[in-house]
Structure 1
Amino acid sequence: MDILRKPVLTEKATLQTEKHNRYTFQCDQRANKLQIRSAIEAMYGVSILSVNTMVVVGKLKTRSTKAGMVSGRAAKYKKAVVTLKEGEVIDFYSNI
């Protein structure tokens, strides 16, 4: 099971990083907080204070086609907000 999918790089997540040293990741839905903590510590070599998780429900999507209106839903996913210790930093752009 691949625990970490990708970092969430939205405006809100970037603001949390700058103000509170919190980083946001999209995770596997079956992963728990302990697995997420160990995966981030192993991948980035940082020490973590806390892990908060939430399941984000996908938005309702509709589009108009020849056959009429088609409605569906975007996929739901688990999001983890990780608070690092003071002075610790994760650089997402170092391995590009």
Structure 2
Amino acid sequence: MNQERIFQILRAPHISEKSSVVGDANNQVVFEVAKTASKPEIAAAVAALFDVKVEGVTISNVKPKLKRFRGRPGVRSGWKKAYVSLAEGEEIDFLDGATQ
């Protein structure tokens, strides 16, 4: 897999309270990924980019939300979320030690 496709698959880490709880309890990391990405592609991209061993990938499609803007209805776009299980002893630090 080429470097350009890796950056197309992995859009951003999804940092939230739920993802922090999942990460501490199950050694998982949550990413926002491209809608066209498959589980093997996500696993290969995370392994190549962060140099970690991936145990498994679970995917969730986040549905679009209906919102109003100045009284007019609108729709936020939906996106795909990937829960990546890392091998025992592996870790990804997005803050790069900034909290110390």
The alignment's TM-score, normalised by the length of structure 2, stands at: 0.86
Asked if 1:15 corresponds to 2:21, the answer is: yes
Q: Report the equivalent of 1:94.
A: 96
- The code of the aligned residue for 1:5 comes to R
Q: Distance in 2 between matches of 1:22 and 1:58?
A: 24
Query: 2: CA distance between counterparts of 1:33 and 1:80?
Result: 8
Which string of whole-angstrom CA distances, capped at 9 and with x for unpartnered residues, describes residues 36-79 of structure 1?
Answer: 0000000100001110011111221113x3xxx21111111111
Q: Which runs of 5+ in 2 are unaligned?
A: none
Q: What number of residue pairs does the alignment pair up? A: 92
Q: Quick one: which amino acid aligns to residue 44 of structure 1?
A: F
**Percent of residue pairs bearing the same amino acid type:** 34
State the alpha-carbon separation in 1 of the partners of residues 89 and 79 from structure 2: 30
Of 38, 41, 55, 1:49 maps to: 55
Larger strand share, 1 or 2: 1
Letter aligned with residue 68 of structure 2: T
Q: Give secondary structure in 2 for the equivalent of 1:88.
A: coil
Aligned-pair distance for 1:95? Answer: 9.1
CA distance in 2, matches of 1:90, 1:26: 15
Tell me the TM-score normalized by structure 1: 0.89
Report the Cα distance in structure 2 between the residues aligned to 1:58 and 1:13, rounded to whole angstroms: 20
More helix by share: 2
- Superposed structure 1 runs of 4+ greater than 6 Å apart: none
